Structure 1
């Protein structure tokens, strides 16, 4: 299969109280259920490390050339799914699991201040809210590794990326409930991507 048929899904590695990160469990679940015929799902676990995250994401775009990348992270204290529209380049001051923080406090020196996904996350959130899903729209991914990974992917992938925060509490933490919802969300994003590529 060519990269144009590949959707990359990443989840994060162990972090603080999450010995197994729910975002990685969700990525594995998505690999099992797939994203329909003709789409190859490639999953990758990303360590909660700035250096490794940037290396892995740049490498994904440079070697696999996927159609789209979806990055999953866990939102502590949240019981809903959060769709992130924007990745921000600067303001990274919190240390990662290696005790490291970028000296420049930014993802890509000289990169734009912020980048938005080509997908309109508000529209995707609305579509699923109407179907009764606990999903909300956000423009602030939190200036930590989630935001960092998102920005790097938007930067290297010409904005063909999404970031989804998965809940850490409540009924949606069960994979049986979460994975089908993530699958619906990603399929809605891919539909929008197809539509936009036909019109441009």
Structure 2
């Protein structure tokens, strides 16, 4: 039966292109190279890396591509009850010194600068049907367990309750909402610039992050 045996995990990972103040986004490099890395290193039994997608660093104007990406994740699953689909979104925090696991997203779009399509909302709901800008959605992933797993692997990881109000939070809110509707899981993680933590370490971190999520969910 489909419900028997250990749960299988299919991960779909996204990163972002450049944006104002960050000419080279490390998440674009990480996500672009992740498949090759895990093919060489391997993943635990039952863990599969599905799509790896680079999103435009934009809000409303990029929604069609975001939802196309989310829907494509569903079409790639086998539909069995023991399969867990996980959306893992990576964004950069240019001022960070360590990795940050984001617990939640808030239903507020207040962009400090125009996004890459020229949109700069101020204090508006991301999803108007969800109510006001104080509404928050939290990940169903076990963030404490994930952090502990990663720290035991030697990575410097913090938990965060504020993903900002820019495009990272915007995408995360939509993803959390979509995941709840579809029975998926969604998690957003901020990474530093490569000047703070080098590219090789960051790709190893993301590969370990897949393991951490699968082992704690």
Shift of 1:178: 0.9
Q: What TM-score, normalized to structure 2?
A: 0.78
Q: Which residue of 1 aligns with 2:67?
A: 58
- Of 163, 187, 190, 1:165 maps to 190
Structure 2 residue 202 is matched with structure 1 residue 156 = no
- Of 112, 126, 141, 1:107 maps to 126
Structure 2 residue 86 is matched with structure 1 residue 82 = no
Shift of 1:29: 2.4
Q: Is the 8 A contact 1:80 1:167 kept in 2?
A: yes
Question: 1:8-31, CA deviations, whole angstroms, 9 ceiling, x for partnerless residues?
Answer: 111111112433311111112222
Q: Is the 8 A contact 1:29 1:175 kept in 2?
A: no
Which whole-Å CA distance do the structure 2 matches of 1:103 and 1:134 have between them? 33
Off by >6 Å, runs of 4+ in structure 1: none
Alpha-carbon RMSD across the aligned residues, in angstroms, is 2.3
Shift of 1:171: 4.4
Evaluate the alpha carbon distance shift between residue 102 and residue 167 of structure 1 in structure 2; reply closer, same or farther with a 3 A threshold.
same
Q: What TM-score, normalized to structure 1?
A: 0.84
Gaps of 5+ in 1: 194-200
Evaluate the alpha carbon distance shift between residue 16 and residue 102 of structure 1 in structure 2; reply closer, same or farther with a 3 A threshold.
closer
Structure 2 residue 22 is matched with structure 1 residue 18 = yes
Gaps of 5+ in 2: 1-7, 78-84
- Of 189, 192, 198, 2:216 maps to 192
Question: 1:94-121, CA deviations, whole angstroms, 9 ceiling, x for partnerless residues?
Answer: 3312221347722211226111111021
Evaluate the alpha carbon distance shift between residue 167 and residue 104 of structure 1 in structure 2; reply closer, same or farther with a 3 A threshold.
closer
Evaluate the alpha carbon distance shift between residue 43 and residue 169 of structure 1 in structure 2; reply closer, same or farther with a 3 A threshold.
closer
Shift of 1:55: 2.1
